Structure 1
Amino acid sequence: MEARLLLEDGTLFTGLSFGAEAETIGEVVFNTGITGYQEVISDPSYCGQIVTMTYPLVGNYGIARDDFESIRPFIHGFVVRRHEPVPSNWRAQYTLDRLLKEYGIPGISDIDTRMLTRKLRHYGTMKGVLTTGKERIEELRERLALTPMMRDQVARTSTKQLFSSPGEGERIVLMDFGAKSGILRELTKRGCDVVVVPHDTTADEIRRLAPDGIQLSNGPGDPKDVPHAVKTISELLGEYPIFGICLGHQLFALACGADTTKLKFGHRGGNHPVKELETGRCYITSQNHGYTVLEDSVNGTDLVVTHINNNDKTIEGLKHKRYPAFTVQYHPEAAPGPYDSGYLFDQFLDMIREHKKSNPQRPRQAVLAETLKGELQYAQK
């Protein structure tokens, strides 16, 4: 079956359909990863986007249950040069085509993805419509022009209810703005007692959980579309050690008085070089974001730049001058890799232990007992 991808500048790509027979509109972006298409598809940060893979062969190792980064895919469409319908991999449980069909996501193959990527790099990401229908180009162009970009991606991808992953170690409240499973996996691997909370959880609600530290997750969209999260972070700053990743990094920067802006075509892939300024060491990182913290806006705040991108010199890491808090723009929990930056989770836990030494707190049991008592009194009223 034929599929078509129409960009807002009028460029039309005609190829073959795979996945669902459907029509979708979203921001057309590209990812430079050689492997990891399943992790890309299941990364909540792609919510509202039509993703183009620059690697020419996709689908060849199928889909495996253990490789999902969220409970379901959130991408709006998938664009590849060549789709392999018959995978060859002992771990594969089913095909890429079946996964997209199950979730109503259309895909298009056999188009010039190199030309599409060069266009997006030159002119920037743009809105597009991907369809398997037979509508006239004029109709598609009109619908594309009338459909606004999605702005509620965090609400769509965040957990709706609090849940926990018990452990014997430090209690970490993970604020879920569209968190990848890799973050929870890295924390639980280190024995942490993790409580995952929705994006709109208030500072008081987090305090009632008696955390030792707060993890700000990745997520989709513009950080300025989540002002309630900025408010919560600013209220908690200084009370608890904080570690932010990707969108969490941007929200933290806004909470500290810095500013963010949209990148021309974003950073999406598993091969982005990042320089740690203190040591001069370069790390190869996994990234997926369309916004960045403005360098000039950091001046005059209590923030220090710790990492920069070696390609375009954008900010990749921040730390607070007075409080135990640091963030990175890239993904130390990266799956399928690289794993160069996994040490940051250990650094976060070390920060928590140092904070607890210098700021002794009442036993967690006493705090929880007080919280339960207050909630019981409120319920009885």
Structure 2
Amino acid sequence: MKYTKRHKAIILLSDGTIFHGKSIGKQGSAFGEICFNTGATGYQEVITDPSYYGQIMVATTAHLGNYGIVTEEVESDSIQIAGLVCKNFSYNYSRPAADGSLEEFFNKFNLLAISDVDTRALVSYIRDNGAMNAVISTEVDNIEGLKKQLAEVPQMKGLELASKVSTKEPYFVGNEKATYRVAALDLGIKKNILRNLAKKDVYIKVFPYDATYEEMNAFEPDGFFLSNGPGDPQPLLGVIALTQEIIKHNRPLFGICLGHQIIGLANGISTYKMNNGHRGINHPVKNLMTGKGEITSQNHGFALNREETEQHPDIEITHNHLNDNTVAGLRMKSKNVFSVQYHPESSPGPHDASYLFDQFIENMQKK
């Protein structure tokens, strides 16, 4: 059994509320918007998901670290969350295939994490009062100083973060001789999305978030893809304009998560910041085209205005979130465009939503 020296730590919310815990390893402070994820497994995929950039993630599952880390299962090349909060942390792991412990992974990327927190009380408080900025810190005797620093952290609403996680240079994924070619815009793209496309006989060129239509079209793609990503979609004016250009040329277009919101904004539908957002792997969605239910993975803090979506003459809502009736999917009636708010590549169902990649292929076949 390994023993690591523990230090007292706190979670200080922007409204002044304090929760107590202990540091997992690193000492210091980390700032960001606090949110919670309800998945019982998948911590490795969550903490490396670029959609979580700038957020302090609270794990609602009772134990974290039990099965270690498998390097090839990451969603990006580094940890993306700003900090982590959990109840019980396991310094040892039992998975034979693991490459190392979660503690070693945290240390590699210098992540501040704290455990021994009453996460039931913390999550209950966030649910009642909404997502807000917070700081996790081992500076337990510097409350006033932390409050001053926290007050200067920008709010998530209005914050553009895609540029922080997008690739700087284009790159390729898949077989160059594949049947289909897709130009993907990286707003914080997960590796498993690219893996799923490549498995469908697709060769992908991944472009930076500020790529132009001309640059992407020069790849001679059969279709375009808008990825997931962090932050508020509304400041991404260049991406919205690019999407409008793709739509104008009636090119096959598929959007996931942030990409879904961008397609809505490109059609004049507004977005809003949710009280808590959806983050977990058990979110129920109904496909209105088939009548079937899907168990989905979700990670977003913004959503499309439902009333505006319903009233849009060229938009049809294809999927509903059954917990709160938010727009979970749409398609354009006159264009070869569709999107979903959830993550079909995560497969928590396990394969309830994988048909969406097939739908994209079918759209490219009839372009």
Aligned to 1:284: 295
1:169 and 2:175 correspond: no
Aligned to 1:367: none
Aligned to 1:322: 334
Aligned equivalents of 2:353, 2:316: Cα separation in 1: 19
Aligned to 1:159: 167
CA contact (8 A) 1:35 1:336 kept: no
Per-residue CA shift, 1:129-163, capped at 9, x if unaligned?
A: 01123442111111111222362421111111001
SS at match of 2:66: coil
Per-residue CA shift, 1:285-327, capped at 9, x if unaligned?
A: 0000000000111213411100000000000000001011100
Q: How many residues of Structure 1 are paired with residues of Structure 2 in the alignment?
A: 355
The one-letter code of the counterpart of 2:69 is I
Aligned to 1:98: 104
SS at match of 2:358: helix
1:349 and 2:361 correspond: yes
Aligned to 1:372: none
Per-residue CA shift, 1:47-75, capped at 9, x if unaligned?
A: 00000000010000011112101111110
Per-residue CA shift, 1:196-218, capped at 9, x if unaligned?
A: 00010011111111110011110
Aligned equivalents of 2:102, 2:275: Cα separation in 1: 30
Provide the aligned C-alpha RMSD in A.
Answer: 1.2
SS at match of 1:221: coil
Kindly report which structure 2 residues correspond to 1:261-280, keeping only aligned pairs within 5 A, or say none.
261-280=272-291
The one-letter code of the counterpart of 1:154 is A
CA contact (8 A) 1:243 1:327 kept: yes
Structure 1: unaligned runs, 5 residues or longer: 356-381
SS at match of 1:225: coil
Aligned to 1:369: none
Per-residue CA shift, 1:352-377, capped at 9, x if unaligned?
A: 1011xxxxxxxxxxxxxxxxxxxxxx
TM-score (normalizing by structure 1): 0.91
More helix by share: 1
Aligned equivalents of 2:243, 2:129: Cα separation in 1: 35
Runs of 4 or more above 6 Å deviation: none
Once the two structures are TM-superposed, the CA of residue 166 in structure 1 deviates from its matched residue by 3.9
Query: Equivalent of 1:199, from 205, 209, 218?
Result: 209
Kindly report which structure 2 residues correspond to 1:161-310, keeping only aligned pairs within 5 A, or say none.
161-167=169-175, 168-237=178-247, 238-298=249-309, 299-310=311-322
Aligned to 1:359: none
Structure 2: unaligned runs, 5 residues or longer: 1-6
Kindly report which structure 2 residues correspond to 1:8-27, keeping only aligned pairs within 5 A, or say none.
8-27=14-33
Per-residue CA shift, 1:318-338, capped at 9, x if unaligned?
A: 000101110000000116663
Aligned equivalents of 2:174, 2:152: Cα separation in 1: 47
Aligned equivalents of 1:261, 1:182: Cα separation in 2: 27
The one-letter code of the counterpart of 1:275 is K
Aligned equivalents of 1:336, 1:140: Cα separation in 2: 38
Aligned equivalents of 1:226, 1:3: Cα separation in 2: 36
